[in-house]
Chain A
Amino acid sequence: EVVMTQSPATLSMSPGERATLSCRASQSISSNLAWYQQKPGQAPRLLIYGASTRATGIPARFSGSWSGTEFTLTISSLQSEDFAVYYCQQYNDWPLYTFGQGTRLEIK
């Protein structure tokens, strides 16, 4: 099973700042990685798939990148609505798709 490790567990930042969230895969998953945002009481929302492709309707301030087994979600300038929990998910290892444990992005 591919283990996805997200860091940090919690990120405290201020609106307007640039946020960088990381996700590491325990083995190669090519670019088969997605990022989701989840706010309290809501379902997850797909932000990024294919490691770097923004989903429909996702603002350009969200971007994804990767190198090897290291994946990064960057939010260029934090807006108040961006404070939430973020999950990465690998969909390379069928059928053992796995999520990371999440990064909580909180207001500093």
Chain B
Amino acid sequence: EVQLVESGGGLVQPGRSLRLSCAASGFAFDDYAMHWVRQGPGKGLEWVSGITWNSGRTGYADSVKGRFTISRDNAESSLYLQMNSLRAEDTALYYCAKDRHYDILTAPDYWGQGTLVTVSS
């Protein structure tokens, strides 16, 4: 069974940093590209970032480009999102999600339950 468990969320002040983690199990992690998708309180879904199986290709939404960095450790079956210079509008539930492919990013087919990030002073 595919499992994705996010962690690292919490309350953080504007301008500070936070690192999210996603522990994957139940599938060959290094065979798939991965995503981060977020959902603000009471809002819709927003794609944040994606990374291919070997980290050869990464991409970011314009709203986070230059502030967020996605990475992965295939040996640890883990996905990360380093979030710097956080803003109030980054407040959201952050989902880790698995793609159906390894070398391109398409539509995620499995999602974790999310970790909540709140940016407030």
Residue numbers of A with Cβ under 8 A of B are 1, 32, 34, 36, 38, 42-46, 49, 55-56, 87, 89, 91, 94-102
Contact = CB atoms under 8 A, between A and B. Distances in A.
A51 B109 CA distance: 14
A43 B111 contact: yes
Nearest to A46: B109
19 contacts: A38-B45, A43-B95, A43-B112, A43-B114, A44-B95, A44-B111, A45-B111, A46-B110, A87-B45, A89-B45, A91-B107, A95-B59, A95-B105, A96-B61, A97-B50, A99-B44, A99-B47, A100-B44, A102-B45
Size range of the interface on B?
Answer: 20 to 34
Interface of B: 37, 44-47, 49-50, 59-62, 95, 100, 105-114
Query: Which label, helix, strand, loop or mixed, suits the secondary structure of the A interface?
Result: loop
B117 to A, nearest CB: 16
Which are the 5 A-B pairs with shortest beta-carbon distances?
A95-B59, A34-B107, A43-B111, A97-B47, A49-B107
B44 A87 contact: yes
Nearest to A42: B113
A39 to B, nearest CB: 12
In this complex, the member of B100, B105, B108, B114 whose beta carbon has the largest number of chain A beta carbons within 10 angstroms is B108
B89 to A, nearest CB: 16
Residue from the set A46, A97, A100 with the largest chain B CB neighbour count within 10 Å: A97
A98 B47 contact: yes
